[in-house]
Amino acid sequence: MNVKKRPTIRDVAKLANVSVATVSRYLNGKTKKMTSETAQTIADAIEKLKYVPNSAAREMAKNKSKIIAIVIANLADYFSTEIFKGASYKLEEAGYVPVLLDTGADQNHEKQVLDSINLHGFDGLILQPLTSDTELIKSKLTREFPVVVLDRKLKHSPWPEVVTNNSEASKNATQYFFNHGFKHIVVLSSTIQIASTRSERLKGIKEVTSNIDIVEIDESNFDRSKVYNELVNALKSNEKTLLFSLKERWLLEFLPQLMKDNVLNEQNYAVTGFADTQLINGICPYAKVISQNPSFMGEKAAEILLAMLNDEKKDIDDLVINATLKK
């Protein structure tokens, strides 16, 4: 079977009786030093041959790939996927192709992902890191290109950050329930020390009370039955108790069974946590969650990255987006 050869830039140049360099200048919009007759001749040749420029090659010639890496902490989390959706919307609108890279809540895999960033021609990076180790990230990202950190507050970060007011939001929510008689707090969370987000949220809770039990979950080695039993035991109390999840995923995981097993009731228990969907109230009608907007955060991170790519701003401030308790 004969396959029709795709026309090349050389074919266009030959038909238009000009050099390949002249056609290249035309394709890149550099026509100021070109006569209108020459430009029209090239346009006619392109139309006749049905020539489609190789955009990838043209971008490489400009040292631009038009591809942005978006590294998220865990694809299993709704928050992370919504970050990607929001950022993708803004990037695609500006002509960039977003590529999703998932660290899977595994710090070793995160290092491998960051290493791979340097092996590919990404124009920029939006990073939702697991680690809070700024020096580790800097040691991995050796290329000079724009980076925006999302959902993490890093010490001495050289990159702009888009974060939630985690500590303040946690403190305000805890104070609200404390004022309503819920003096005992059970905190449900992935390993806290790994992520600055969780540490800040716990800090906010501790500013209100020290009457806290913590149930931590190792996402890389998750035994559901063991965690559930530990959670049930922590919730057994003579005091009115608040179940406070630092991550929506764990309320979605355990709240249905807690309700089914009648572990919780509206008189003695309250439920809250950082949430990104409306699902929690469908499971527990009396839950009052702290609402975030990860898609919006992703959009804002993309806007900052685009400004850096366009060299619109030399110094870009961090952006804090408020999360609020839905009472």
- Describe the strand order of the beta sheet including 147-150 as a list of residue ranges: 97-102, 67-72, 124-127, 147-150, 161-164, 319-321
Domains by residue range for the chain, with CATH: 9-53 (1.10.260.40), 67-163+294-321 (3.40.50.2300), 166-291 (3.40.50.2300)
Structure-model confidence comparison of residues 175 and 74, the more confident one = 175
Q: Residue 1: pLDDT band by 50, 70, 90 thresholds?
A: very low
pLDDT in tens, 293-326: 999 999 999 999 999 998 765 567 789 999 999 9
Q: Is the pLDDT of residue 224 over 50?
A: yes
- Tell me which residue of 216, 263, 274 sits closest to 241, measured CA to CA: 263
- CA torsion sign for 22, 24, 27, 29 is negative
Structure-model confidence comparison of residues 101 and 65, the more confident one = 101
Specify which residues 190 forms β-bridges with. 217
- Cβ-in-10-Å burial (0-12, 13-18, 19+) of 129 comes to buried
The mean-pLDDT minimum among 31-40, 203-212, 276-285 falls in 31-40
Q: How far apart are CA 248 and CA 258, in angstroms?
A: 15
Based on its alpha-carbon atoms, the radius of gyration of the chain, rounded to whole angstroms, reads 26
pLDDT in tens, 11-26: 999 999 998 888 888 8
Q: Return the pLDDT at 84.
A: 96
